[in-house]
A and B are shown apart, each in its own frame.
Chain A
């Protein structure tokens, strides 16, 4: 304690110059981040004068060098040069409230979809809703979303084709290059996002196939085939392997065909596996199942990839895996094979396909994102309220109003809190940090 107070007091003089950081800045982050200009000018002048008089007093000039003997004792601390390379928060980006709110919709969407899944499960278990209707509605929505996706893809292609045509018109010779994929991200933010999307899309694939049980891995083929096909947003030839270039059908239609084919395959496989799934946890008590699925869903929420770019792959796969496992164990509590099949298919749609669609929607249209968020929040809040109280329409409306307000305020408070916390950010950089080497890997 005495040490730190000593430092603080002793170097107070240093702090007079607004352009220079003193060690105490390392502790007090709220120390002047931008003092008034007048003040700054005055103290700068004051400091210059002081420096002049000080240097007159001194015999020699102190230098931060080791190789010659200086007329100063070893523990001399020069006010001018001490810590003159210290940088605080060099890459600080102040948050803004509304952009934080907008970004937090991603989290709200995911939590809402998890809540909806839970509500549907409870409703199915309590036999208030037929599992067939749940999965039919979900599948209908999925098909709609896929159609939308397909439409976007077509737009994308048209755009890319137009770009290529423009290039050709401009007489650029490397048209082939443009098409060979190296210049793949067309132009504008959407193109590049799509390219990232592509990676994101394939992510669940690996995770699933390597996942726990053979059953889970089989089921989870769905996201792969369902998703991977419509994806390749590039007009290049490097498309899914099942696109036959010699066929009379256009590549787009081939892809669609392949998607439908694999979706049917998954459907059939799931149908066949449902009886096994049903008896999977026969010997486990329901208590353990509830606890386990709770934790697994928490893991899903915690490790979900909320980012936009193609970030780290591991946590995302953990997230999807844990959600599918939770749905598998939950499904095994259900009475009939139809129930099990429905819930598993529903979970694949909610946890496997829906996040990918949401991601694409967010990059595509902000209004669509907002509408989807509101719809999800309304459904989730209403569903939770109905599930908890067991009431009817009245409970639903009360839940929607209450939940909506709570969600909105939670988003606001968290954003505001994060902005408030940012002033405690205190990153110290200096010459002691390992340098970040800049290497151009191109050279060979």
Chain B
């Protein structure tokens, strides 16, 4: 199965939402060897829509061709909220457009950061502006990501929630986890001659900071003879790494693992004591949370959303400079040798910080807010200094579905882009009317819901009672 951060995010969040009594459908494009409709754990239904994948699991943009299939799925599964993931996914943008045309609530989750200078970013930002002009709410994985998205799509900051990613802490347990249930003993001290292992797991790309890594490793090893490196991952920069190892004759001290599957990451991580993350840009940095959960002391660059993710006692920050990375790593080694860091406590602390249940709860609040189950004042209560945020209030809580309102929003996207977007919205609407006439709703069967076990059913009931609604809530998520 192709692994992707957004994909695992969707899966984890969906299963937690199902536990909370929602019905969740995932619509994604077809992967090689993975097509049609599938059921995952817990009755999570996945539609793999056939599309042509062009680049790294991103589909070719076909603005309207997806609509008939999408409408069919939406009606069949009685969807109420469409939740899209990933700003590079065309499927997501299209689904949000079609969903608004069909009068559904939409949420968008952004997982990535974009600059404003290069051509690719400008294009992506325009596309994002198109989609987000008419979306009910936006979710970002970190505060930096929120600032970035607000600027890129000119959003009202109140429309954007920050809900971090989470990790499944049970999958990232340190080696001697059993003992940590007892009262924590004295911290484990490293003698001056004990070997400290530094783990690096990342795709070896320029934006992951592999150049920094290549520059820093020989210097760290030269001044700290009792240090070993374990590097897992693959990518175009792997060759640089190998050259560096050969030129400095470090085969004894640097172990290259090659690509590892996500399930094996923990097994690699627990072999080390320090996790080094030299990335140059990162929206959230799930991997450093995973490393901390495995009981590793984290050395990372202070870029993107990374400084928000872990508390100070778990991390050693460095500027994205060779000298600073070396210094920070040496500080970390010294701290471990001095026994100042209680890495054995990290796992439980991380478990407290990040859990998918919490993420699902917070996402649910967003769903409640946009569908009106939560009153508008309550949802936007964080308005801070009094009546400063009147513009939001003017929007009557939920966005209007009227075509003319939507066109107004699109029109403001730019001199040319605005008109183009309006054209797209109008064509989409006409297509919708056409489909309503020639493929009427009455002709589409309603899918039966997955039968649930009793304990779960109970939660469904509570969920419904809380919402004072006799219907199931259904979310559909896109990737």
Asked whether any CB of chain B lies closer than 8 Å to the CB of A3, the reply is: yes
Nearest chain B CB to A310 CB, angstrom units = 24
Chain B positions within 8 Å of A67 at CB level: 308-311, 353-354
Asked if residues A10 and B157 are in contact (CB atoms below 8 Å), the reply is: yes
Nearest chain A CB to B282 CB, angstrom units = 10
Nearest chain A CB to B36 CB, angstrom units = 36
Asked if residues A432 and B113 are in contact (CB atoms below 8 Å), the reply is: yes
A75 to B384, CA, bound (A): 11
Asked if residues B151 and A2 are in contact (CB atoms below 8 Å), the reply is: no
* Known contacts A3-B132, A68-B353, A75-B161: A443-B219 contact under CB 8 Å: yes
Asked if residues A79 and B384 are in contact (CB atoms below 8 Å), the reply is: yes
Chain B positions within 8 Å of A394 at CB level: none
Smallest CB gap from B381: residue in A: A73
Asked if residues A440 and B323 are in contact (CB atoms below 8 Å), the reply is: yes
A439 to B325, CA, bound (A): 10
Chain B positions within 8 Å of A430 at CB level: 144, 147-148, 151
Asked whether any CB of chain B lies closer than 8 Å to the CB of A96, the reply is: no
Asked if residues B280 and A434 are in contact (CB atoms below 8 Å), the reply is: yes
Chain A positions within 8 Å of B162 at CB level: 66, 74-75
Smallest CB gap from A4: residue in B: B154
Asked if residues A437 and B212 are in contact (CB atoms below 8 Å), the reply is: yes
Chain A positions within 8 Å of B299 at CB level: none
Chain B positions within 8 Å of A438 at CB level: 320-323
Contact of B143 among A4, A13, A64, A68 (CB under 8 A): A64
Q: How many residues of A contact B (CB 8 A)?
A: 50
Asked if residues B280 and A437 are in contact (CB atoms below 8 Å), the reply is: yes
* Known contacts A430-B148, A434-B280: A2-B408 contact under CB 8 Å: yes
Asked whether any CB of chain B lies closer than 8 Å to the CB of A92, the reply is: no
Q: Size class of B's contact patch? A: 35 or more
Asked if residues B385 and A82 are in contact (CB atoms below 8 Å), the reply is: no
Contact of A66 among B143, B151, B157, B395 (CB under 8 A): B143
Contact of A434 among B115, B145, B379, B384 (CB under 8 A): B115
Asked if residues A74 and B388 are in contact (CB atoms below 8 Å), the reply is: no
Smallest CB gap from B163: residue in A: A74
A433 to B103, CA, bound (A): 36
A73 to B353, CA, bound (A): 16
Asked whether any CB of chain A lies closer than 8 Å to the CB of B142, the reply is: yes
Asked if residues B412 and A4 are in contact (CB atoms below 8 Å), the reply is: yes
Asked if residues B147 and A444 are in contact (CB atoms below 8 Å), the reply is: no
* Known contacts A64-B308, A74-B162: A10-B392 contact under CB 8 Å: yes
Within B92-132, which residues are at the interface with A (CB < 8 Å)? 113-117, 132
A-B contacts counted at CB < 8 A amount to 182
Nearest chain B CB to A413 CB, angstrom units = 25
Asked if residues B413 and A65 are in contact (CB atoms below 8 Å), the reply is: no
Asked whether any CB of chain A lies closer than 8 Å to the CB of B12, the reply is: no
A358 to B110, CA, bound (A): 53
A64 to B309, CA, bound (A): 10
Asked if residues B156 and A10 are in contact (CB atoms below 8 Å), the reply is: yes
Asked if residues A3 and B142 are in contact (CB atoms below 8 Å), the reply is: no
Asked if residues A3 and B320 are in contact (CB atoms below 8 Å), the reply is: no
Chain A positions within 8 Å of B17 at CB level: none
Chain A CB within 10 A, most for which of B132, B143, B159, B388: B143
Q: Mark A372-385, 1 if CB is under 8 A from B, else 0.
A: 00000000000000
Smallest CB gap from A53: residue in B: B385
Chain B positions within 8 Å of A441 at CB level: 215
Asked if residues A74 and B365 are in contact (CB atoms below 8 Å), the reply is: yes
Q: Mark A1-34, 1 if CB is under 8 A from B, else 0.
A: 1111111011101000000000100110000000
Asked if residues B147 and A82 are in contact (CB atoms below 8 Å), the reply is: yes
Asked whether any CB of chain B lies closer than 8 Å to the CB of A143, the reply is: no
Within A70-116, which residues are at the interface with B (CB < 8 Å)? 72-79, 81-83, 85-86
Smallest CB gap from A67: residue in B: B353
Asked if residues A10 and B389 are in contact (CB atoms below 8 Å), the reply is: yes
A242 to B401, CA, bound (A): 80
Within A419-444, which residues are at the interface with B (CB < 8 Å)? 427-428, 430-441, 443-444
Asked whether any CB of chain A lies closer than 8 Å to the CB of B291, the reply is: no
Chain B positions within 8 Å of A427 at CB level: 116-117
* Known contacts A66-B143, A68-B353, A436-B320: A10-B391 contact under CB 8 Å: yes
- Which secondary structure dominates chain A's binding surface? loop
A2 to B405, CA, bound (A): 10
A252 to B418, CA, bound (A): 67
Chain B CB within 10 A, most for which of A2, A79, A436: A2
Smallest CB gap from A12: residue in B: B388
Smallest CB gap from B147: residue in A: A83
Asked whether any CB of chain B lies closer than 8 Å to the CB of A38, the reply is: no
Nearest chain B CB to A90 CB, angstrom units = 12
Contact of A75 among B117, B154, B159 (CB under 8 A): B159
Chain B positions within 8 Å of A45 at CB level: none
Chain A CB within 10 A, most for which of B145, B382, B411: B382
Chain B positions within 8 Å of A432 at CB level: 113-115, 144-145, 147-148, 281, 283, 304
Asked whether any CB of chain B lies closer than 8 Å to the CB of A54, the reply is: yes
Asked whether any CB of chain B lies closer than 8 Å to the CB of A237, the reply is: no
Nearest chain B CB to A405 CB, angstrom units = 36
Chain B CB within 10 A, most for which of A77, A81, A85: A77
A440 to B323, CA, bound (A): 8
Chain B positions within 8 Å of A440 at CB level: 215, 322-323
Within B134-177, which residues are at the interface with A (CB < 8 Å)? 137, 139, 142-145, 147-148, 150-151, 153-164
* Known contacts A2-B412, A435-B320, A439-B212: A77-B382 contact under CB 8 Å: yes
A54 to B320, CA, bound (A): 36
Nearest chain B CB to A14 CB, angstrom units = 10
Asked if residues B353 and A6 are in contact (CB atoms below 8 Å), the reply is: no
Asked whether any CB of chain B lies closer than 8 Å to the CB of A50, the reply is: yes
Nearest chain B CB to A431 CB, angstrom units = 5
A3 to B409, CA, bound (A): 7
Asked whether any CB of chain A lies closer than 8 Å to the CB of B19, the reply is: no
Chain B positions within 8 Å of A431 at CB level: 144, 147, 303-305
Asked whether any CB of chain A lies closer than 8 Å to the CB of B267, the reply is: no
Chain A positions within 8 Å of B411 at CB level: 1
Asked if residues B157 and A439 are in contact (CB atoms below 8 Å), the reply is: no
Asked whether any CB of chain A lies closer than 8 Å to the CB of B218, the reply is: yes
Chain A positions within 8 Å of B139 at CB level: 74
Asked whether any CB of chain A lies closer than 8 Å to the CB of B87, the reply is: no
Chain A CB within 10 A, most for which of B132, B147, B150, B207: B147
Q: Mark B243-269, 1 if CB is under 8 A from A, else 0.
A: 000011000000000000000000000
Contact of B164 among A10, A66, A81, A428 (CB under 8 A): A66
Asked if residues B384 and A3 are in contact (CB atoms below 8 Å), the reply is: no
Chain A positions within 8 Å of B154 at CB level: 3-4, 7, 27
Chain B positions within 8 Å of A5 at CB level: 391, 412
Chain B CB within 10 A, most for which of A11, A431, A432, A443: A432
B residues bordering A, Cβ < 8 Å? 113-117, 132-133, 137, 139, 142-145, 147-148, 150-151, 153-164, 207, 209, 211-212, 215, 218-219, 247-248, 280-281, 283-284, 301, 303-305, 308-311, 320-323, 353-354, 362, 365-366, 379-382, 384-385, 388-392, 395, 408-413, 418
24 pairs from A and B in contact (CB 8 Å cutoff): A1-B133, A1-B408, A6-B392, A7-B157, A54-B385, A66-B143, A66-B305, A74-B162, A74-B366, A75-B162, A77-B158, A77-B160, A430-B144, A431-B147, A431-B303, A432-B115, A432-B283, A434-B280, A434-B281, A435-B280, A435-B301, A437-B212, A438-B322, A443-B218
A residues bordering B, Cβ < 8 Å? 1-7, 9-11, 13, 23, 26-27, 50, 54, 64-68, 72-79, 81-83, 85-86, 427-428, 430-441, 443-444
- Per CB-CB distance, the 10 closest pairs between chain A and chain B, nearest first, are A1-B412, A76-B382, A74-B161, A4-B154, A435-B320, A432-B113, A77-B157, A438-B321, A6-B391, A434-B281
